[in-house]
Amino acid sequence: MLKREIKITQDGSKTLYIPDWNESYHSKHGALREAEHVFITNGLEKLIDSNVINVLEYGFGTGLNALLSFIWSRDHSKRINYTSLEKFPVSTTEVEAMDFHQVIAQKYTNLQADPIYDFFLKMHQAKWGEKVNLTEFFKLYKQEVDFREVRLKEDAYDIVFFDVFGMRVQPELWSEEIFEKIYLSLKKDGLLTTYACNGHTKRALQACGFIVEKLAGPPGKREMINAWKK
């Protein structure tokens, strides 16, 4: 297991940093802002007409994307079945050090920090490999698995949050083999959303049949990708 350190990003939210890789779990320009932009605004919001949304996430990590998805599902009265893959779960100490609930409550005055933190802990305490109904609107299924070895059901998901480490440190995850498996797992008109936008990723997605759309990126990144299965 690689050593991880806690860092504060520019929007005040925290992230984890791996010194050996010089790689962070989130953008230094703002963990919260990046997650909101890539996975909520350019993710779940694109499926606003659906009452039930099946999410597959590559990289549970700190749980920030799942937490924001829960808040979104509650605010919009949408039911979310959230499947998340992770090879190296974070520790209890790291979870308790994250302050997403406070930063979110400061940004959205209609939200209180304590209920957000309670849900955040429930997510991390949920058993791996078991489907857990965390609320009326949010079901969580965490799998501790190697991303290259996971078996996915075909035509099962409406959206994929592709939030793995960057190609510089894990190029094997940005491959046609991985994207082909994701393509088959998505329903028709399904969406893959990711923070990355480079030539290799675009070509690999297109080779698997995705329609690739380049969008304005989160703070610190010029562009990001939405990839659609049509």
Q: 52: which strand partners?
A: 79
CB 173 within 8 A of CB 148: yes
Please report the sign of the dihedral spanned by the C-alpha atoms of residue 152, residue 121, residue 24, residue 144. Answer: negative
Interatomic CA distance for residues 161 and 164, integer angstroms: 9
Which CATH fold topology does 30-228 show? Rossmann fold (3.40.50)
Give ∠ CA 176-16-91 in degrees, rounded to 5: 100
In this structure, what DSSP letter does residue 9 have? -
Longest dimension (CA), the chain: 46
Using only C-alpha atoms, what is the Rg of the chain? 16
Where exactly are the structural domains of the chain?
A: 30-228
The predicted structure's pLDDT at residue 81:
99
Interatomic CA distance for residues 113 and 99, integer angstroms: 9
The predicted structure's pLDDT at residue 110:
75
Q: Which residue has the tokens 């509650």?
A: 74
- Walk along the chain (230 residues) and give the pLDDT tens digit of each residue: 689 999 999 999 999 999 999 999 999 999 999 999 999 999 999 999 999 999 999 999 999 999 999 999 999 999 999 999 999 999 999 998 998 999 998 887 678 889 999 999 999 999 999 999 999 999 999 999 999 999 999 999 999 999 999 999 999 999 999 999 999 999 999 999 999 999 999 999 999 999 999 999 999 999 999 999 99
The predicted structure's pLDDT at residue 106:
86
Burial class (CB within 10 angstroms; exposed 0-12, middle 13-18, buried 19+) of 152 = middle
The predicted structure's pLDDT at residue 113:
87
CB 60 within 8 A of CB 39: no
Interatomic CA distance for residues 113 and 104, integer angstroms: 7
The predicted structure's pLDDT at residue 1:
66
168's tokens: 């510089």
The predicted structure's pLDDT at residue 187:
99
Task: Please report, for residues 17, 52, 55, 167, 223, the alpha-carbon distance to residue 21 in angstroms, rounded to integers and kept in the order given.
Answer: 9, 38, 28, 12, 23
